Structures are given as structure tokens and as C-alpha cells.
Amino acid sequence: MGNFYTDVIQQDSRFQSARRVADLDLLEPTTRRLVEQIVDNAQKMGIALMVYETYRSQARQQELFKNGATRLVTVGVHHYGLACDIVRSIGGEPSWKGDFLFLGELAHASGLIWGGDWGNPDIKRSFVDAVHVQRCTVARQPALFAGSWYPDDTYNTYADDPQLRFAAATASKPTGSKSAARVPRPRKKS
């Protein structure tokens, strides 16, 4: 049975393109909806964001690796339409300046894994990617890459693993930071 990766992404003309893609249409529909929700909620907080990168080909990953822009030679979750890089928009230009803790809070609230903590704020990571969100736990990645697993509409990253659920619960509490106080409460969906 097909999924968004096999039915849409693999059929797209940009599948092997080495160019950056920021098109929301190459995000799996639930991921797309959650990303749009994050951008909307940030806007309400007075923070202008832009979607910088959605789909990524293996060719582009190799380019980025060669240029030292990534430590990973093999393309990751971006390749499957389940990851998105969201940066600040300053005068219409992308910006990585300032802290992105608010993005972590919004990601947790929406159910996406945030690259700032990879799902667990209590674990210190050597590799942090504060503008990255994804709809797939780190534990699921091997199955995703092997083609044996792809999330359905009901897949919930934070219900996938008890440890991650705990992480989501602690992360949604105000931490005393300025941004945390303005974060909308996560909407409960069963």
C-alpha cells in the first residue's frame, strides 16, 4: 500500500533535485497542517516565521555535507515529507538569529518533535537543530528509512513512547522564560 512518500514525493519532479525546497505541498498532510498551525500561533505571539525547507533530496544532503552545513551524509526525515525547518522572517529574509525556545514550545504543543531537544528536553544532545521539527520520533527513524513504517493520520509522536510522553508533559509547563508564558495551551485531542 502506498503512502505520501511513495505516492506524492517519489513521483514529484523535484525528487532528485539538489535545490532547496520550501513548498508545503511536499509535506505529508498532517505534518503540513501542524507546521501551518505553528506559524499561525507564532504570528499571534508577534513572531514572524517562514518555512525554509520542507522536502530534501539525497543529492542536496550530499551538497550540504560537502559544504560542511550538516554532519549527516545520508538524508533524514526531510526526505519523507515529515520534517520542516522553520526560521524567523526578518523583512522577508530568513533569519536564524535569536533563540528558538518558543519554537520548541509550539512544537511540543502541536505534537511535533523539536530538533532542539529531539523529543526529550532532559537529555543533552551533542547535535541540536533548533529550527527543525518532525512528525516522527528518533526511535522510529530506522523503520521510516527502511520503508517498513510511515505514520498514518492518527500517529502521535508523544504517545509513541512513554519517555517522550513524559518529556512532552514537562515541556508544556511554564519554565519561567518569557516565551513560555505566551505559549498557547496544547489542545487535547483523543
Report the residue number, 145 or 180, with the smaller CB distance to Zn ion: 145
Give the shortest CB-119-to-Zn ion separation in angstroms. Answer: 14
Q: Which pairing describes strands 83-90 and 93-95: parallel, antiparallel, or unpaired? A: antiparallel
Give the shortest CB-162-to-Zn ion separation in angstroms. Answer: 26
Rounded Cα distance between 101 and 185, Å, is 15
Report the residue number, 19 or 184, with the smaller CB distance to Zn ion: 19
Report the residue number, 22 or 45, with the smaller CB distance to Zn ion: 22
Report the residue number, 47 or 130, with the smaller CB distance to Zn ion: 130
Residue 49 DSSP label? E
Other beta carbons within 10 angstroms of residue 125's beta carbon come to 13
Give the shortest CB-129-to-Zn ion separation in angstroms. Answer: 6
Report the residue number, 36 or 180, with the smaller CB distance to Zn ion: 36
Give the shortest CB-189-to-Zn ion separation in angstroms. Answer: 25
- Total binding residues for Zn ion by CB under 5 A? 2
Q: Are the C-beta atoms of 62 and 85 separated by less than 8 Å?
A: no
Other beta carbons within 10 angstroms of residue 1's beta carbon come to 5
In the chain, helix, strand, coil percent, each to 5?
40, 10, 50
Answer yes or no whether residue 117 interacts with Zn ion by CB under 5 A.
no
Rounded Cα distance between 89 and 96, Å, is 9
Q: Are the C-beta atoms of 114 and 108 separated by less than 8 Å?
A: yes
Answer yes or no whether residue 56 interacts with Zn ion by CB under 5 A.
no
Among all residues, whose Cβ is closest to Zn ion? 132
Answer yes or no whether residue 85 interacts with Zn ion by CB under 5 A.
yes
Q: Are the C-beta atoms of 155 and 135 separated by less than 8 Å?
A: yes
Write the CA distances from 56 to 22, 26, 161, integer angstroms.
Answer: 9, 10, 27
Give the shortest CB-173-to-Zn ion separation in angstroms. Answer: 26
Site for Zn ion in 127-146 (CB under 5 A): 132
Report the residue number, 23 or 170, with the smaller CB distance to Zn ion: 23
Give the shortest CB-176-to-Zn ion separation in angstroms. Answer: 28
The residues binding Zn ion (CB under 5 A) are: 85, 132
